[in-house]
Amino acid sequence: MSTRVLVTYGSTNGSTARIAETVAETLTEAGLTAEALPAPSVASLDPYDAVIVGGGLYAGRWHKDARRFLRRHRHALAERPLWLFSSGPLDPSATQRNIPPVPGVRKAMARLDAQGHVTFGGCLQEGAKGWVAGMILRSGKGGDFRDFPAIRAWAADRAAELTGVAPGGSPATL
């Protein structure tokens, strides 16, 4: 049976959700069984062998749904391969360099012995919730900075780690 991966997320305006769906699609293409679900809707990790958790960044913290997910499922998470991703920067910085996790996420990674973390660019567009979002948009700092080829490449690397097969299908040489 193929490895079952949960890709779950905390997202206010849907852009982190779309990243999670892209990750799940890429894992599925690589032969894994993967689904993307909003973090509050996940009752149990029993059906999954590995977990990827993503959170939008808000004022230097992970989205509260992603933080709560890590707390609620900490025991089950500690027993499974776990990767985290953040989505936030509203500029090309995440494509140009590695952006480390915010302090809360860094601490959670240590507690849960997570395998790794990546920061992807964020997205803020017309219709986003909240007055701060409106202010950012009015000041001309919105836009879509998600790099989908980079997101797919990161997910393909996770698939390779989980299956022991290098991206592209050739057996990993270890």
57 binds ligand FMN (CB under 6 A): yes
User: What is the number of other CB atoms lying within 10 angstroms of the CB of residue 133?
Assistant: 18
143 binds ligand FMN (CB under 6 A): no
Nearest approach in angstroms of CB 5 to ligand FMN is 20
60 binds ligand FMN (CB under 6 A): yes
Q: Which of 34, 124, 151, 155 is in the footprint of ligand FMN by CB under 6 A?
A: 124
Nearest approach in angstroms of CB 167 to ligand FMN is 26
Alpha carbon separation from 130 to 136, 137, 149, 172 (Å, rounded): 10, 11, 30, 47
Cα 158 from Cα 163, distance rounded (Å): 9
DSSP3 helix / strand / coil % (the chain, rounded to 5): 40, 25, 35
Cβ atoms of 58 and 104 closer than 8 Å: no
Nearest approach in angstroms of CB 141 to ligand FMN is 9
Residues that bind ligand FMN in the complex, under the rule CB under 6 A: 11-16, 56-60, 87-90, 122-124, 128, 130, 132-133, 136
